[in-house]
């Protein structure tokens, strides 16, 4: 159930948002499996994790919902996720590159 490992966000290494988004489906599958397992066994996920996870599943195309969920996962592990943004030029257009790093 380590969603941060699935997303490839690691301590001391900056991970591009596009890399994280490429693992979105797997993260949602693992979350849904955890919810089903809790229902089967009569247990529950932490309230904040369940709330943010449900939001992520409701809005599958939302990068913000995914990152809110991953930040909630980091908080449960006593960590935080740092976002660093920088301007880049791709195909002649100015854009923002978002890089994420796990802070322990």
The 10s digit of each residue's pLDDT in 14-72 is 888 889 999 999 999 998 998 899 888 888 888 888 898 899 889 888 889 999 999 99
Q: What is the pLDDT of residue 98?
A: 86
- Using CA atoms, how far residue 86 sits from 5, 8, 79, 97, in Å, is 24, 20, 23, 5
Is this structure's pTM higher than 0.75?
A: yes
CA 92 to CA 88: how far, in whole Å?
10
Alpha-carbon span 100 to 8, nearest angstrom? 10
- Rounded to whole angstroms, the Cα distance separating 61 from 24 reads 9
- Residue in 86, 75, 92, 103 with CA at minimum distance from that of residue 16: 86
């Amino acid at each position: 159930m380590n969603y941060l490992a699935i997303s490839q966000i690691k301590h001391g290494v900056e991970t591009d948002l596009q890399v994280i988004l490429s693992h979105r489906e797997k993260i949602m599958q693992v979350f849904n499996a955890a919810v089903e397992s809790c229902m089967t066994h009569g247990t529950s996920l932490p309230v904040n994790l369940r709330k943010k996870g449900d939001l992520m599943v409701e809005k599958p195309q939302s990068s913000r919902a995914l990152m809110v969920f991953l930040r909630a996962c980091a908080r449960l592990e006593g960590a935080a996720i740092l976002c660093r943004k920088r301007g880049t030029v791709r195909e002649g257009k100015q854009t923002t590159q978002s890089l994420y790093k796990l802070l322990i």
